[in-house]
Structure 1
Amino acid sequence: MTQAEKQPSPLSLFEFWPGWVFYTPVVAYWILLGLRYGDVTLPTAANPRIETGGLCGESKSSILDMAGNYAKRWIAPYVTLPTGTHDLARAHTAMQAKGLTLPVVVKPDIGCNGTGVKLVRTEEELKAALAAFPRKIRLVIQKLIPWKHEAGLFYIRHPDSPMGEISSLTYKDIPALRGNGRDTVLQLLQKDSRTSKVLHIYTPRLTHCLHEVLPDGDELELVFAGNHCKGAIFRNGKADITPELTRQIDAIMQDIPDFHFGRIDVKFRSAEALREGKDFEIIEINGVGSEAIHIWDSRTTLREAYAAQFHHYRESFRIGAKKKKAGWSPTNLWEGVRLWQRQKRLLASYPLND
């Protein structure tokens, strides 16, 4: 078998390393940049109207709320709901005012990595999802986009540049098992070249059916949330970054005041339509704390992953320096630490994502 005929590895060398192992060089590089610029929190000024620039602890809905009339046309409709009493009735009132009907996606307003994201198809599921979260936190209830395809597009625009760029495009594939009428779900997981290596990601979400035999030809999607650490498969789609798509994303993002650096997560009809800048809806906009997620493609080398990380965070410092010079202030370090700790506490309190 030639090198070209070899199948790619189901996992990359570093894909599921412990976070502290993979990110230690990234943190070290961030500190070096902070010393060079004289301010380790400088990137938080890159998106100065967002709390911490979107590094941590920011509200998802507050970013979407800043969108102008043009950008709003591309964002999936949503409402927010603080948990408390009579959540179901209040959710219905808010959804009706926005024209939202089931199915919807319920997710925490402050969160990351898909933690707590729930797919809600029925009235009973909505009631259960709302009850699963702690009291006195804000949730986002968003329209479920019918298109199955999802992607993350990283956007960078320097304040002195008339147009931004898409520096990374990543397709998010939801893994699925196909039944053979003989093996249980657990057995199918154990036989698959990828899932067998990361059973700890999938089995907690499938406890209700692990020992059931999946009928021949039936498919079982393993996760709903399109996040790598929750089990989605990421593919580098850089070849599909076109001038048409770049122009469309730039027009949208320039309709969000002082947004310069972050990732836009979208659902889309087809790769062909996305390349043309058509038929997609934004489900989330992430700031400085997001990353160019093509690094989690199993074909990406460790060297390429670090090169991408260093490039993007270097750009965040450059943009932050320009915004600071224009009069914007970075987040105070200790305030940032406080918000990060709050976010950690909240993440630990959320229910298991779908």
Structure 2
Amino acid sequence: MRVRKFFERLFNWELWNFHILYAPIAPVWLWYCIKSRSLWFFTPSNPNITFGGFEGEGKKEMYRLLPAEITPKTIYVKPGIPFTELKNRVNAAGIRYPFVVKPDVGMKGILFRVIENDDQLQKYHAHIPFKYIVQEKIDYPVEVSVFYYRYPWQSTGVVSGFIYKELLQVTGDGNSSLKQLINQHERAKHRVEEMELRHGHDFERVLGAGEVFYLSFAGNHNRGARFTNLQHEINPGLVAVFDKLSKDALFYYGRYDIKTNSIEDLKNGKQFIVLEYNGAGAEPNHIYDCGMSLGKAYQTILQHWKVLYEISRYNARQGHAYWSYRRGKKYLRAAKHHFRILEKFD
């Protein structure tokens, strides 16, 4: 079993470690640093977001740039406050179970949880070491990602990627235990240790025929979500929706994660909620789950890096300066330290 999993990973680039996948094209990133004379050449890309949204920016920072009606109802919580105070704040905000909790500064679905009751909330509150958010759970049936960029000297942007997300889940057959279903699942079987940590108490449970069990509520590729490419759905209406959102926020490059009632509603600019968006550090995740070759994936990534470089260079010439080496190094070191701690608590 282990040997088979090893070879599956070896011959499927989508399962490779992030650093291994990106190592062959890293010199191109370095070349943009040299051309810009800045290790942080991307920082002017999104002038209203700290570090250009490459890493370490908070959810609060992003939500304040968007209209309140298209963002989830959210409160920000400091760890250590009395639980009664937390409960009062949640109730006053009109947020009801089940709801979502996650770090204000987070990534890759770390410490993302759906909270069903007081007991779960109290355990999460006692466990998490940093400021986090309590957020209404959006029940729109469709979750998508939209990769968008716009050159600052142009009035219309580009939707370069549009994908539908399916959360990591298994479906019961009336005979198999959860553990057996996980070991049979093409994605979950590569994450058995993580699954045991999260769902070990349910491993021997036999799921009824047709019963769906969500292994993760985070719609991230690194958390096992499956993507379906919706490139054929991109049209001028969809681009116009994100042109308006992005112009108001001075957002030039990155990826939106969205829940919507339907693809058509989103293209018409109605019945959707922005869960969050990622700036310069956003990966063009439409390279996954569409049968793309490794060479084509690299071509797509490099095309996006070129766009990022050109946007950043233009904005720098307009007065949005590159971060200094010292400032960027200090910020990135603090961000990575923050994430290492989060991973330990996850």
TM over 0.5: yes
Deviations 1:205-250 (A, max 9, x none): 2211112222233221121111111111122221111211211122
Specify which of 61, 78, 83 is matched with residue 82 of structure 1.
78
Aligned residue number for residue 13 of structure 1 = 12
Deviations 1:235-286 (A, max 9, x none): 2221111211211122122221x22111111011223333333321001021
Q: 2-side partners of 1:307 and 1:105: how far apart?
A: 36
> Residue 99 and residue 302 in structure 1: after superposition, are their counterparts in 2 closer, same or farther (change >3 A)?
same
TM-score, normalising length: structure 2: 0.90
Tell me the secondary structure at the aligned position of residue 316 of structure 2: helix
Deviations 1:90-146 (A, max 9, x none): 333433443323322111111111111111121222212211201xx2212211101
Q: Is the Cα–Cα contact under 8 Å of residues 33 and 41 in structure 2 kept in the other structure?
A: yes
| Long gaps (5+) in structure 2 | 1-7
Q: 1-side partners of 2:339 and 2:213: how far apart?
A: 27
1:262-341 matches, cutoff 5 A:
262-341=254-333
Q: 2-side partners of 1:25 and 1:39: how far apart?
A: 21
| Long gaps (5+) in structure 1 | 1-8
Q: 2-side partners of 1:353 and 1:217: how far apart?
A: 33
Q: 1-side partners of 2:290 and 2:183: how far apart?
A: 19
Q: What is the number of equivalent residue pairs in this alignment? A: 339
> Residue 156 and residue 302 in structure 1: after superposition, are their counterparts in 2 closer, same or farther (change >3 A)?
same
Aligned residue number for residue 45 of structure 2 = 46
Aligned residue number for residue 5 of structure 1 = none
Q: 2-side partners of 1:353 and 1:152: how far apart?
A: 27
User: What is the deviation of 1:46?
Assistant: 0.7
Q: Is the Cα–Cα contact under 8 Å of residues 128 and 345 in structure 2 kept in the other structure?
A: no
Q: 2-side partners of 1:143 and 1:353: how far apart?
A: 23
Moved more, 266-275 or 90-99: 90-99
Deviations 1:12-57 (A, max 9, x none): 8211111211011343211012222332312111112211111111
1:40-189 matches, cutoff 5 A:
40-67=39-66, 71-86=67-82, 88-134=83-129, 137-189=130-182
Which amino acid letter does the alignment assign opposite residue 297 of structure 2? A
**Larger RCO: Structure 1 or Structure 2 (Cα < 8 Å, ≥ 6 residues apart)?**
1
Which amino acid letter does the alignment assign opposite residue 318 of structure 2? A
1:27-42 matches, cutoff 5 A:
27-42=26-41
TM-score, normalising length: structure 1: 0.88
> Residue 250 and residue 94 in structure 1: after superposition, are their counterparts in 2 closer, same or farther (change >3 A)?
farther
Bigger helix share: 2
User: What is the deviation of 1:190?
Assistant: 1.9
User: What is the deviation of 1:351?
Assistant: 6.6
Aligned-residue CA RMSD (Å):
2.3
User: What is the deviation of 1:201?
Assistant: 4.8
1:231 aligns with 2:231: no
Which amino acid letter does the alignment assign opposite residue 53 of structure 2? G
Task: Give % identity.
Answer: 27
